[in-house]
């Protein structure tokens, strides 16, 4: 294995493109090193992107924030501005692993690891976040929702590296929330998860809603019907129950050591209900 | 696989070592530098026994490559006491019987110290969530929480 | 050992919460554990493991691995000797498969190489020709005729005809006529229970460093609960004499019973012998889960009859335990422990051990008891609910006490169950109000506790300090406890005593650190060794004073004349006698070597409050209190630590921990990510109440305390869940999907 600490995104992209063997991008390393330890991957080239100038910074941009691909989630969690604007995104990112893992892991890494259960992905998708990607042929922007292609697979092409993620601006009276279910209180992979992002009218009626579910399909799922159910309501119980059913309808989970189809399906709806209420309160909706 | 020279700072002392590109910082500390206080309990970031700080951040050294230590500042359990003088956390862990087998203890102490530097007056719940990535199979955590709180109180008073 | 051993006394040292002698080493990272040792020219050993649950090994081609540069030795089962003795052969075959791989993770070959990368590469070059066989991993399937047979010809004669050949042994305990007893009951409950296999989950993986030299001598450094037993096993497997193999126990990073046998130690020795260099093997976490000893997994039927006023009229249990791919006696202990807490006229337990394609069971804290007592305590609770009776009152009404003929045979001497139940009943926790949706459960627990072979050598240093040499790895603070008992008996301060754990060449045989035996049995040997040293010191004082040795007695750490007729001499302290020992006959020491009997059983009662989230099936433990009889708490903090640690392991077992096997017979969760031990944020404080009902078989009244604490949580939490959510689960763990399913979700 060769190790390269790239000093520009271009250098990283070119090195990755030129390598004929197995490559891995190293940001926090909390997935790559685990896979190496387990013998699941034996890279010929590892490109460390943390030495690229600016890649570990958070920058305000157009009313939102651009999060560098090497910003550790612990650093993200300490950023007052991002926390205020996108609290659900930050709480998802901050649920990954332990305090120790938080000191290293990144949202971009979580996205590229492409686990259906990644805790950062639902919040980012609910936020309509956009990834900036450097490649051998230059830069491009891509909605985060289009990055995962299936368990362990992304739509990134050979040589492409995510360099930052843009969390967009949002109006007043808008917020988001993320919840996952795990058997313990910490240290588990999500068995099911839900992110809800809401925009409210002045009177507290939901104007726009996006509901995204994790760990219930090969990739995160945007529950379009569930989101539509919430619009025009103040999250009364009947609406929430209907929304939960709409969530259940889009779940296509698997039975495995972490949960059953029935459990994941039911729990995704439950979590979406609970997350919606949290997002609603955060957005200033009074219940 | 060609080894790579690494220059770093460990517990305040400049330090150089050679390591393979795929070697973890934990292996480099233990096998190349004789710093065996950090333990490998799992090698996958699930137990926290290998906790160290890297540029002031608490990390699992099993999830860091040795080559990433280049130019970094690392602290380990071996640097926690000031010579003969134990850190208050170390003292309170002994006094409160907060260790039994002791194999998780270095990682827990390093993690607890990082917590108290960030938050000198944590609630029990904050201590428990901060340390959730440090498995202890002997104590049931009760005496660990008490020891951390006793040390925190002493450090606030000092 | 006579049962009048205990004498009431005032303690000066025992009962103090002193600092442990290994404390500073352990908080500074200096303590040396299994993986921390190195040797000159050391090689890295690694093991190739079967990916199949059950497969015949038709052949192993190691030639490519041997040819790889940097590989110094390759080992297969063919390199190890044929063994006559069943027990040794099973241990050896578990360390390295011979003809068949019996479970996913079973070792089939090993290499020693100059570094880890080369060793890993060499493993990939070993070609094993497997004939995959049908497998069975579930006890209820394996017991049926027609199930795949794991090992042929292992059934004992007492196994009834018509069962699968996987059934290796049968046991039966009890007395009276259960049928007559059930006929007198107002209500009989019969339920079926299952418990998953769990793992001890010690944080330190197994590690061994072996060095065999060409003159036939060997050194072995390893993390173990018993270096002497390691020597016995390794000497047999290696064909060595005990005197030639010195085993040193490192500091041990947790064991809980799981480090009472060998897995990699003989492999490291055999590789070292073959390579002519020291070899270190350190298991990965994945190997620990796949190839060391988890517990049995079990299937149990319990039937109990009760009168409407809460008297148990009869009780019966059928226990089917599987200890994996090898014969296992744990079901006997489960069968004996099942009804130990009750004074019963009619009781019977039946047990069967069943082979499955799983790793060979190793002891885990009160082996066999948590599973059977979980089932019994669940049914007792259901009967309490049926009649609307208080669960502690019902247990008090039926509690075993002094003079009770136990369900497993012996008649109990002084035991602490009633005192423990009464303490629980009057504790504020038991009467504290619960919020809607919360539930409170209780359960009794029991463990026999063991004694066993123990040697202690106690040396009086000329400066008045004392060195105690004992042979049991310190797993929970025993060096401090042993020092306390030596100091107590000698009448000196704790910090004048230092206790060390000796290697196998420095002391006679000591049984493994297990069975909650060390503070009891090694403590007893220490007290006797101290008394021997006192006898010598009294003799030295007598010599100095010119009086008969019988005219000198030991009081408050000094020799004094025994009464006015002995003469008038000022007391001579231990330090004063030690200082002149070279002039009075030479160094002073005391020894004691004994196979200790008289262990006192220990009962515990746990109270737990939980809340079940009815939408997700998640159970939160809100409050927890442990009551346990320690006999005498030598170091109360470490006694509390045992009670708390045991309780939390039981909580993990009750809620989330389990071995999950796929249809392919492979272990699905061999890591701490998906084998879910409790983390700090899962738990409340674990309150403790120590009771001290002296064990008549120990000079200070000590009982073991290490194991009982893991027994009650399983049923206590199940009973609390039943009262919180209105559902009674009969399978552990009570993981959220199972609870939600039971709730109809």
State whether A34 and B111 contact (CB < 8 Å).
no
Nearest CA in chain B to A36: B22
- What class, spelled out in words, does domain B4-79 have in CATH? alpha beta
Number of domains in chain A: 2
Only one residue has tokens 């990368």, namely C117
Nearest CA in chain C to A97: C673
Same domain, C126 and C218: yes
Asked if residue C174 is part of any domain, the answer here is: no
pLDDT for res C166 = 98
Calculate what percentage of chain A has a pLDDT beyond 70: 100
Same domain, A158 and A34: yes
Same domain, A8 and A102: yes
Confidence of residue C162 (pLDDT cuts 50, 70, 90): confident
Confidence of residue B87 (pLDDT cuts 50, 70, 90): very high
Same domain, C609 and C724: yes
Asked if residue A78 is part of any domain, the answer here is: yes
Nearest CB to B106: which of C29, C201, C671? C29
Residue C745 has pLDDT above 90, yes or no: no
Same domain, C709 and C580: no
Q: What CATH code is carried by the domain that includes residue C546?
A: 3.30.365.10
Residue C26 has pLDDT above 80, yes or no: yes
Average pLDDT, chain A: 97
Nearest CA in chain B to A72: B57
Same domain, A236 and A131: no
Nearest CB to A186: which of C617, C660, C681? C681
> What is the Cα–Cα distance from C331 to C165, expressed in whole angstroms?
17
Distance from CA of B71 to the nearest CA of C (A): 24
What is the CA C96 to chain-centroid distance, rounded?
24
* Full domain range(s) for residue A122: 2-167
DSSP letter for C522, please.
I
Same domain, C419 and C492: no
State the SS3 of B10-47.
Answer: ECCEEEEEEECCCCEHHHHHHHHCCCCCCCCCCCCCCC
Q: What CATH code is carried by the domain that includes residue A178?
A: 3.30.390.50
Among residues A127, A152, A167, the one where a domain terminates is A167
Residue C1 has pLDDT above 80, yes or no: no
Same domain, C628 and C586: no
Nearest CB to C660: which of A38, A185, A257? A257
Q: What CATH code is carried by the domain that includes residue A28?
A: 3.30.465.10
Distance from CA of A82 to the nearest CA of B (A): 20
**Cβ-proximal residues to C488 (8 Å cutoff; 6+ apart), any chain:** C11, C12, C13, C14, C527, C700
pLDDT tens, position by position, C61-96: 999 999 999 999 999 999 999 999 999 999 999 999
From chain A, the residues in CB contact with C741 under 8 A are 260, 262-263
Same domain, C212 and C74: yes
Same domain, A195 and A123: no
Same domain, A42 and A156: yes
Same domain, A140 and A182: no
pLDDT tens, position by position, C525-536: 999 999 999 999
Same domain, A58 and A145: yes
> What is the Cα–Cα distance from C457 to C340, expressed in whole angstroms?
36
Same domain, C306 and C368: yes
CA atoms within 13 A on the CB side of C101: 31
> A204: left (phi > 0), else alpha (psi -120 to 50), else beta?
left
State whether B68 and A72 contact (CB < 8 Å).
no
Query: Does ipTM exceed 0.95?
Result: yes
The stretch C152-171 carries a mean pLDDT of 92
What is the CA A125 to chain-centroid distance, rounded?
6
Only one residue has tokens 């387990």, namely A38
Answer for the pair B132, C52: CB distance below 8 angstroms, yes or no.
no
Calculate what percentage of chain B has a pLDDT beyond 90: 98
Distance from CA of B24 to the nearest CA of C (A): 12
From chain A, the residues in CB contact with B43 under 8 A are 37
Helix axes C265-275, C86-95, angle to 10 degrees: 70
Tokens of C172: 């039966």
pLDDT for res B158 = 67
Answer for the pair C716, C592: CB distance below 8 angstroms, yes or no.
no
Same domain, A182 and A160: no
State whether A46 and B65 contact (CB < 8 Å).
yes
Distance from CA of B34 to the nearest CA of C (A): 9
Same domain, C455 and C430: no
Q: B88-157 belongs to which homologous superfamily?
A: [2Fe-2S]-binding domain (1.10.150.120)
Cis peptide before C465 (omega within 30 of 0): no
Confidence of residue C611 (pLDDT cuts 50, 70, 90): very high
Tokens of C447: 């463990």
From chain C, the residues in CB contact with A259 under 8 A are 736-737
pLDDT for res C3 = 45
Asked if residue C30 is part of any domain, the answer here is: no
Same domain, A152 and A184: no
pLDDT for res C425 = 98
Interface test with A, best of B40, B45, B106 (most A CBs within 10 A): B45
Answer for the pair C77, C97: CB distance below 8 angstroms, yes or no.
yes
Q: Which of A214, C679, C684 lies closest to B131 in space, CA to CA? A: C679
Q: How big is the CA angle at C213 (ends C212 and C214), to the nearest 5 degrees?
A: 130
Q: Where is A156: in which H helix or E strand?
A: none
Distance from CA of C672 to the nearest CA of A (A): 9
Domain ranges of chain B: 4-79, 88-157
C-alpha gyration radius of chain B: 16
State whether C28 and B81 contact (CB < 8 Å).
yes
Which phi and psi angles does C206 have, rounded to 5°? Answer: -60, 145
Same domain, C79 and C216: yes
pLDDT for res A287 = 66
pLDDT tens, position by position, C427-468: 999 999 999 999 999 999 999 999 999 999 999 999 999 999
pLDDT for res C504 = 98
Quick check: C737 contacting A, CB < 8 Å? yes
**Cβ-proximal residues to A84 (8 Å cutoff; 6+ apart), any chain:** none
Same domain, C589 and C468: yes
Number of domains in chain C: 3
Residue C4 has pLDDT above 80, yes or no: no
Shared fold status for B4-79 and B88-157: no
From chain B, the residues in CB contact with C481 under 8 A are none
The stretch B57-69 carries a mean pLDDT of 98
> What is the Cα–Cα distance from C173 to C161, expressed in whole angstroms?
20
Quick check: A189 contacting C, CB < 8 Å? yes
Among residues C282, C308, C340, the one where a domain terminates is C282
Q: What CATH code is carried by the domain that includes residue C219?
A: 3.90.1170.50
Residue A173 has pLDDT above 50, yes or no: yes
Same domain, A160 and A179: no
State whether A259 and C617 contact (CB < 8 Å).
no
* Full domain range(s) for residue C516: 451-596
Only one residue has tokens 């004048």, namely C496
The stretch C371-385 carries a mean pLDDT of 98
């Amino acid at each position: 294995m060769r190790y390269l600490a790239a000093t520009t995104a271009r250098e990283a992209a070119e090195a990755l493109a030129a390598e004929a063997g197995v490559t891995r991008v190293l940001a926090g390393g909390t997935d790559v090193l685990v896979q190496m330890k387990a013998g699941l991957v034996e890279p010929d080239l590892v490109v460390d992107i943390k030495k690229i100038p600016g890649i570990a910074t958070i920058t305000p941009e157009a009313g939102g924030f651009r999060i560098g691909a090497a910003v550790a989630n612990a650093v993200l969690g300490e950023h007052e501005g991002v926390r205020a604007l996108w609290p659900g995104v930050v709480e998802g990112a901050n649920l990954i692993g332990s305090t120790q893992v938080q000191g290293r892991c990144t949202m971009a890494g979580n996205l590229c690891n492409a686990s259906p259960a990644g805790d950062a992905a639902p919040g980012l998708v609910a936020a309509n976040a956009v990834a900036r990607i450097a490649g051998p042929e230059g830069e491009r922007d891509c909605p985060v929702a289009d990055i995962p292609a299936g368990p362990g697979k992304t739509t990134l092409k050979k040589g492409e590296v995510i360099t930052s993620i843009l969390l967009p601006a949002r109006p007043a009276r808008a917020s988001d929330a993320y919840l996952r279910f795990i058997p313990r209180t910490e240290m588990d992979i999500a068995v099911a998860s839900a992110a809800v992002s809401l925009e409210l009218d002045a009177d507290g009626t939901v104007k726009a809603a996006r509901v995204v579910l994790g760990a219930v399909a090969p990739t995160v799922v945007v529950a379009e019907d569930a989101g539509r159910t919430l619009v025009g309501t103040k999250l009364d119980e009947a609406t929430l129950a209907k929304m939960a059913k709409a969530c259940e309808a889009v779940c296509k989970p698997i039975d495995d050591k972490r949960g059953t189809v029935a459990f994941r399906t039911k729990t995704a709806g439950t979590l979406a209900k609970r997350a919606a209420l949290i997002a609603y309160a955060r957005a200033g909706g009074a219940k | 696989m060609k080894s790579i020279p690494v220059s770093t700072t460990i517990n305040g002392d400049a330090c150089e070592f050679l390591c393979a590109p795929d070697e973890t910082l934990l292996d480099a500390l233990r096998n190349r530098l004789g710093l065996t206080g950090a333990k490998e309990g799992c090698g996958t970031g699930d137990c926290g026994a290998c906790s160290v700080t890297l540029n002031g951040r608490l990390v699992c050294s099993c999830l860091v490559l040795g080559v990433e230590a280049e130019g970094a500042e690392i602290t380990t359990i071996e640097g926690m006491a000031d010579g003969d003088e134990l850190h208050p956390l170390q003292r309170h862990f002994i006094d409160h019987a907060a260790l039994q087998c002791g194999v998780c203890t270095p990682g827990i102490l390093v993690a607890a110290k990082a917590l108290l530097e960030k938050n000198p007056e944590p609630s029990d719940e904050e201590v428990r969530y901060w340390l959730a990535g440090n498995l202890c199979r002997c104590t049931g955590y009760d005496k660990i929480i008490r020891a951390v709180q006793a040390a925190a109180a002493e450090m606030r008073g000092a | 050992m006579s049962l009048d051993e205990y004498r009431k006394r005032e303690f000066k040292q025992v009962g103090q919460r002193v600092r442990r002698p290994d404390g500073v080493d352990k908080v500074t990272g200096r303590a040396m554990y299994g993986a921390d040792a190195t040797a000159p020219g050391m090689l890295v050993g690694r093991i190739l493991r079967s990916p199949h649950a059950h497969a015949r090994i038709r052949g192993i081609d190691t030639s490519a691995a041997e040819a790889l540069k940097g590989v110094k030795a390759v080992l297969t089962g063919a390199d190890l000797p044929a063994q006559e003795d069943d027990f040794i052969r099973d241990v050896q075959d578990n360390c390295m498969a011979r003809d068949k791989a019996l479970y996913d993770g079973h070792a089939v070959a090993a290499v020693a190489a100059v570094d880890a990368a080369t060793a890993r590469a060499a493993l990939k070059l070993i070609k094993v020709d497997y004939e995959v066989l049908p497998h069975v991993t579930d006890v209820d399937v394996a017991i049926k005729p027609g199930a795949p047979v794991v090992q042929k010809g292992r059934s004992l004669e007492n196994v009834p005809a018509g069962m699968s050949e996987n059934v290796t042994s049968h046991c039966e305990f009890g007395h009276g006529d259960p049928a007559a007893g059930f006929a007198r009951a107002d209500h009989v409950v019969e339920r079926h229970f299952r418990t998953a296999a769990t793992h001890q989950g010690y944080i330190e993986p197994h590690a061994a460093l072996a060095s065999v030299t060409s003159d036939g001598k060997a050194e072995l450094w390893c993390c173990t609960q018993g270096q002497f037993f390691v020597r016995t096993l390794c000497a047999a497997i290696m064909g060595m004499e005990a005197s030639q193999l010195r085993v040193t126990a490192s500091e041990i990073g947790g064991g809980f019973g799981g480090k009472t046998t060998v897995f990699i130690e003989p492999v490291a020795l055999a590789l070292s012998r073959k390579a002519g260099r020291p070899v270190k093997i350190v298991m990965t976490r994945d190997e620990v889960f796949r190839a060391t000893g988890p517990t049995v997994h079990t299937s149990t039927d319990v039937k109990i009859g009760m009168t409407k006023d809460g008297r148990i009229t009869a009780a019966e249990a059928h226990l089917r335990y599987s200890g994996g791919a090898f014969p296992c006696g744990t079901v006997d202990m489960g069968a004996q422990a099942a009804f130990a807490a009750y004074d019963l006229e009619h009781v019977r337990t039946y047990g069967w051990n069943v082979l499955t394609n799983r790793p060979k069971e190793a002891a885990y804290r009160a082996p066999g008891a948590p599973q059977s007592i979980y089932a019994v305590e669940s049914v007792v609770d259901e009967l309490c609910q049926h009649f609307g009776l208080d669960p502690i009152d019902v247990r008090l009404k039926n509690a075993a006490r002094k003079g009770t003929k136990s369900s497993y045979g012996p008649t109990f001497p002084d035991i602490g169950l009633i005192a423990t139940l009464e303490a629980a009943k009057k504790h504020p926790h038991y009467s504290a109000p619960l919020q809607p949706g919360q539930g409170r459960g209780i359960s009794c627990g029991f463990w026999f506790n063991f004694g066993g072979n123990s040697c202690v050598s106690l040396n009086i240093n000329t400066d008045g300090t004392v060195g105690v040499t004992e042979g049991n790895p310190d797993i929970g603070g025993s060096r401090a406890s042993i020092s306390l008992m030596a100091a107590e008996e000698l009448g000196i301060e704790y910090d004048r005593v230092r206790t060390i754990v000796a290697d196998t060449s420095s002391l006679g045989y000591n049984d493994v650190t297990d069975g909650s035996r060390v503070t009891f049995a090694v403590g007893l040997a220490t007290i006797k060794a101290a008394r021997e040293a006192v006898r010598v010191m009294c003799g030295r004082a007598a010599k100095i004073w010119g009086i008969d040795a019988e005219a000198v007695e030991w009081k408050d750490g000094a020799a004094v004349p025994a009464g006015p007729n002995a003469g008038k001499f000022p007391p001579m302290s231990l330090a004063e006698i030690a200082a002149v020992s070279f002039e009075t006959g030479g160094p002073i020491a005391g020894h004691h070597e004994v196979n200790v009997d008289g262990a006192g059983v220990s009962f515990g009662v746990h109270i737990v409050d939980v809340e079940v989230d009815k939408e997700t099936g998640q159970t939160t433990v809100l409050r927890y209190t442990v009551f346990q009889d320690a006999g005498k708490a030598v170091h109360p903090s470490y006694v509390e630590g045992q009670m708390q640690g045991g309780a939390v392991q039981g909580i993990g077992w009750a809620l989330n921990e389990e071995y999950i096997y796929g249809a392919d017979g492979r272990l699905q969760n061999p890591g701490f990510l998906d084998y879910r031990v409790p983390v700090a944020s899962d738990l409340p404080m674990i309150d403790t109440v120590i009771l001290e009902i002296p064990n008549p078989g120990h000079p200070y009244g000590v009982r073991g305390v290490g194991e009982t604490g893991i027994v009650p949580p399983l049923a206590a939490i199940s009973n609390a869940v039943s009262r919180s959510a209105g559902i009674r689960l009969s399978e552990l763990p009570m993981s959220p999907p199972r609870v939600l399913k039971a709730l109809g979700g």
